[in-house]
Amino acid sequence: MAKKVKKIKVTQTKSIIDRPKDQKATIEALGLGRPNYFRTHNDTPQIRGMVRKVSHLVKFEEIEE
């Protein structure tokens, strides 16, 4: 039986204008760039840390595939 892969959907909710460079780089590394863009990522500690760093700019939800 195949193991279910947990994923998270990350949606950018706010602009990165006037944000520090490290936050801009984190948004770019997540594959975002403009408000209302979203990407799905595997649920890993690295991705969770990136989401936590820019939690004031994004929202996320867990999904299962």
Structural domain total, the chain: 1
> What's the pLDDT tens digit per position in 19-54?
999 999 999 999 999 999 999 999 999 999 999 999
The CATH number that applies at residue 17 is: 3.30.1390.20
> Does 34 reside within a domain?
yes
Q: Are 14 and 21 in contact (CB under 8 A)?
A: no
CA dihedral 60, 44, 18, 58 (to 10 degrees): 0
Residue 64 belongs to a domain: no
Helix 21-29 / helix 45-53 crossing angle, nearest 10 deg: 140
Instruction: Classify residue 1: in a domain, yes or no.
Output: no
Looking at per-residue confidence, does 25 or 1 come out higher? Answer: 25
> Is 22 among the domain residues?
yes
Written as six digits, the tokens of 2 are 């195949």
Quick check: is 30 in a domain? yes
Range of the domain at 46: 6-58
Identify whether 41 is part of a domain.
yes
pLDDT for residue 2: 65
- Cα separation, 20 vs 10, in Å, equals 20
Amino acid 35: pLDDT: 96
